[in-house]
Every structure is written in C-alpha cells, then in structure tokens.
Amino acid sequence: MSTESDSTVERMLLDDQVALHQSPEPITAILDLMSQNTISPPASSAPVQLQAKPPHAIATLSGLPPLPTTLTTLLPHQPPAQIKNEPREPLLNPQTTPSKPKLGIRHIDLAYHTSKDKMTCRMCFKRAEVTAGWEVKRFPISAPWADLSRHCEQVHPAGYKSLIDLDPATLAETRERLLAMDGQKGKR
C-alpha cells in the first residue's frame, strides 16, 4: 500500500512543479505579450507589397483611352439599375422535361410528295386508298414548315411518331427507296 500512496504523492509533487512554471491560462499570457508588441511574426513571413497602378493609369501609359469605372460612365443618360432581391429561377431546372422530338426538314421527303407547285401529304394519300371519302391534304410549295409539321402531328399522330423515331440510317435508306419509287411513277 505504501507504494500506491508514494506514487500519488509523487504525482502531486510533479503537478505542483508544473503549476509553478505554467500560468493558469496560457492563452492569456500570449495575448498579453501580443498587446505589448513583444512578439511579432518574423519579417520574412510578411506579404510582399507591390505598388499597383490603377487601371486608368495603365490605359494612359499605353496610349489607350481610360476604361470606364462605373455604370454611369458607361451609360450617363440612364439612371443606375435598381437591385432587386427577388429569387432567380435556376438556369437548369431539373423538373423540366426535354422537349419532344419534332418533325424536321430531313423528314420532308418522307412526309410529303413534292411537285412543281404543291406538296401532297403521303400519309393522307395512303389513307385515301383504304378510306372512302378521305381528303388528301395538299399545300402550296411555299407553305411554312410549321403548317406542314402541324398537319402530320395532328392528323396522323401514329405516322408522325414513327417518322420522328427513325434513326438516321433508316431515315436515309427509306428516303432513297421512296424517291426511287417516285422516279418510277414519273416514268410510267
């Protein structure tokens, strides 16, 4: 038991010696030294300071006219813009869906037969072969693409979808076959 009490006494003596050499709050001592300017960072650690020239001085030295520094210099006839603290919409909204594919100019030969003065809807022509009384839609050669596309989308939605879903290789192959057939019809 005496060894246990001896070690406790030794620890207490050691703690007393440390307390003699260490202040109760070391940070206080450091702050006191800093306020008395007795400690400072070494001179080599100070940032290098360069003499910078203002932009207008650089422009003058280069022979160019000085750069405008404010909005009023740029537009003196207009009042400064008012800053609004309104929340902005994000540029990319993750909730928006990508726009659906549309009939493009690359589909024109597949959707319409073109003659000198008119464009005939191929899908209407095919439907008229099987549906009595179906009117084949014809457009003037100068019809806006929006009208041609809208007709296909609204009147022939299934055909429209199958046209826009064609991959480029199939689109090109189908166009070649169709134009070859049109050429054969013209020779008869």
Condensed to tens digits (0 to 9), the pLDDT of residues 40-69 reads 555 555 566 666 666 555 555 556 666 555
Average pLDDT over residues 115-143: 93
Predicted TM-score of the model (pTM)? 0.46
Compute the distance between CA of residue 79 and CA of residue 54 in angstroms, rounded to an integer.
26
